[in-house]
Amino acid sequence: MAVVPDPAGATPRILVFSTINISDPGIDLAGSRHLEYPATVQTMAVPCSSGLKPSWLIHALESGFEGVFVASDGEECAYLPDCAERTAAIISRAQAIMSERGIPASRLKMAALCSVCAEPFANYMREFSATLLALRPTAAVA
């Protein structure tokens, strides 16, 4: 599916934190299969989503990204058996800080993404982009 070019910056900018061994290869595969998603989606890979600091997620949101998406290993994490719980706790901590700063919790999303989850990733990005667009003030959309 082709994504309509949007060079005017009207498409929300999304930062994806991926994991080197599991979710980043899934995002690679989305590209290898030419599954298109908005070009305003950018990715940073880390070894494990349990190593993300809540302050990094907040920093991204306060630096200009409209949304942050954590593509975690879920139950496939080779490092930590409780990775999903740890990452969820990091998201909760970040959302608590976001709440204090008036940032809607829905700007931060987490989902497990496997190394062959190409289509789910492209779908997540299109859906998250639409969600973020709906969060914009009406005047900005118009």
Partner 1 sequence: MSQPDEPTTGGTERRIGVYICHCGGNISDYVDVEAVREALKDEPGVVVSESPVFACSDGTQHDMIDDIRAQHLDGLVVASCSPKLHQVTFRNVAKRADLNQYAYTQVNVREQDSWAHQHDRAGATEKAIGLVRAGVAKTRLSDPLEPLRIDTVPSALVVGGGVAGLRAAIGLADLGIQAVVVEREATLGGWVGRLGATFPDDTSGADEIAGLVEQIKARRDITVYTSAELTGKSGTFGNYAAELTLHRDDGDKVLTVGVGAIIVATGFDSYLPDVGEFGYGIDGVVTLPEFKELVDAAPSGQLSYAGRRVRSIAYVYCVGSRQPAGGNEYCSKYCCTATIHASLQVARLDASVRQYHLYRDIRAYGRNELLYNSSREAGSTYLKFADDQPPAVAKLAGGGLGVTVTDLLTESRELTIPVDLVVLVTGMVPRENAGLTAVLKLPVGSDGFFNEIHPKLRPVETVVDGVMIAGCCQSPRTVGESVAAGLAAVAQSAALLKKGYAELEPLVATVDPARCIGSGECLTSCPYDAITRIEWDGRSIASVDPATCKGCGGCVPACGQDAIDLLGYTDAQMRAAIEGLIAAEPVKEAVS
Residues that bind partner 1 (CB under 8 A): 2-9, 11, 13, 15, 21-22, 25, 27-32, 34-48, 50-56, 59-60, 63-65, 75-81, 83, 86, 90, 93, 115
User: Are 70 and 49 spatial neighbours (Cβ–Cβ below 8 Å)?
Assistant: yes
**Smallest distance from partner 1 to CB 75, Å:** 4
**Smallest distance from partner 1 to CB 26, Å:** 11
Pick the closer one to partner 1 by CB: 93 or 104: 93
Ramachandran area for residue 44 (φ above 0: left; ψ -120 to 50: alpha; else beta): beta
Residues 6 or more apart whose CB falls under 8 angstroms from that of 80 comprise 48, 50, 86
Pick the closer one to partner 1 by CB: 64 or 138: 64
| Nearest to 73, CA basis, from 93, 46, 44 | 46
Pick the closer one to partner 1 by CB: 39 or 96: 39
